[in-house]
Structure 1
Amino acid sequence: MTELKVNLQGSWKRILAMITVAAMCFTVIYVSPVSASDSDGSGTTPTEATTPAEPTPAEPTPAEIPVTGITLDKTTLNLEVGKTDKLTATVAPENATDKAVTWTTSDAKIAEVKDGTVTAKAAGKATITAKAGDKTATCAVTVKEKTVTPPPADNKTPDSNTVGTTKKPAKATVTLNATKLTMKKGTSTKALKVKKASVKGDKIKAVKTSNKKVVAVTKKGQTITLKAKKTGKATITVTMNSGAKATVKVTVNNKKVVTKKLTMSKKTAKVKKGKKLTLTVTRNPINATEKITWKSSNKKIATVKNGKVTVKKNAKAGKKVTITARTTNGKKATCKITVTK
């Protein structure tokens, strides 16, 4: 029994020794992943270095695509005064970076343009330009006066006194401010004008000369220009939109044209103190060109400049003043003005 006990005690010692060895082996196995080269000699495991992340590359800026061309759906337009039309521009290529279109006109008095919409303002010609990038396209615009339709026939039922007759519409007529004109060779005038038209709103459609070698004629809007080219005679015919016509006989010679008579737009007038009045004069012949001077008989009552009369604020009611227009060759016309409250 004593021997057995001793052996058992010896066995327990061996078992404890084996357990101790096993624990040490476990410790070695746990530490073994760290190599000696990783140790800094301090007995601690160095911290593993962290590799910085690479920056994300920026997206490339897309290349700008320039405009290679621009076209309009119309290259010519014919409009009447007051009418409008739309122009459409096409920019190439479709994927151009900047396809913005700017619109301009060569003469805004003839035709205006806004975002491609053309508005006819007055008779004449203008060019509309569309621009995208450095490319342009144009449209030639021709504006004509409005077509005036003569008044319709009176379709009333005829009474007993007009049975068997048909009343015709009144024929359109036009009167010019002269029927005869004398011009000096080499001169020109814009004095010929329409004095009266029977159709309201009637406008000049065309002007022709019977002899362009003697008198040349041009029309711009409602302005007629006559140019005396050589001595002789010519007949100028003015045709209105209504079809009405009027003529003036022109004689060209080598003599200077001078004023023979001057007529004031008003012979008498009543004007309130502090107010204004505009006077005009008509020459005979209409193409005379002498300088006209204006004068007031009493500047304390009223002053005048180029036909514009101003009555003084302190002028007394009932006072009178005479306004005189005089040409350099001595022809004159007057207007007597009475001041009112």
Structure 2
Amino acid sequence: MAEGEATIKAVSLVSGRSDSCTVKVQGGYVSPAESVKLSEKELTINVGEQASLTATVLPEDAVQSVEWSSSDDKIATVAGGVVTGKQDGTVTIKAKAENGVSATCKVKVKVPVASVTLNKTELFLEVGGSESLKAEVLPKEATDKKITWTTSDENIATVSSSGNVKGVKVGSATITATADGKSVTCTVKVGAVAESVVISAPQKKVAVGGTVTLTASVTPSDANQAIEWKSSDEKIATVVNGVVTGVKIGVCNITAKASGSSKEAVCKVIVTAPKVKLTKVKNVKKKSIQIKWKKIADVAGYQVSYGKKKKLTTANSIKIKKLKKKKKYAVKVRAYTVVDGKNVYGKWSKVKKVKIKK
């Protein structure tokens, strides 16, 4: 018998069926496999990723070829020692020698965390105050969604295992939330306990479509100076960083609140009518002027100025009589609303001049 390969074929004399087997003949003595050793006993990979395992058959002069198999091909497959993650779960990868001796590796396949987000990236606290941060891990089907919370300086701010942050002393610290190697941070600014909030004006007027700016400060000076602005009715007026925009005629409150505190100040905002647009100013018979303008919704009435005189009307037109012939009159109109029993006027229209000729 010589070294090499031969195929043994068996044929049935009755049915004619056959089968074959390839036989390898190696020169010299071949030791039987006593054990199989894998390069890893445990392995963790992500869905869609691959990792390689190496099998060593002992003793060294034993046949080194092994047969690879997975306990669940739906979770992970293996070919030539290359393991591919298919879906979340755990499987056993086996490498078996020709005589049945084998070794296994426990493989965990997981859905990795893609991102971690916080409900706030900046947090303002008073000394002794606290607030909970909320973290969201994506995708929702991620395997390891557990959040680990840490602080950059426990002397400034501490954080619990559930994300509750507490201010310790005045200063700044960074809170980090980590899941499966992905992290996100929030800057925490701890200030002295706020005593009061001072707003730039207790009352302001702004026309529909117009803007007015408010400012606010917190005392003492080492308290957090960040202000949270809020409108009591955004259908009437909105506010962003202290800039108030009139939306609709009416009255609302703009609140300036110290971030991380209950202290606040309020400004009463009256949204007045927009500027009136004159459509007609004409001298008519008998020393009169016919004045017309575009109607404005939600106003109580209009004030008409001609020369040195003024008149009120609820209509969007008026006829002014008994004027002086050959005299020129400057005409303008403004709308008004009633707040707390008093007329609140909007801006004057553009002035139109007319000379009495008739």
TM-score (ref. length: structure 1)? 0.31
Larger Rg belongs to: 1
Select the structure with the greater relative contact order (CA < 8 A; seq sep ≥ 6). 1
More helix by share: 1
TM-score (ref. length: structure 2)? 0.30
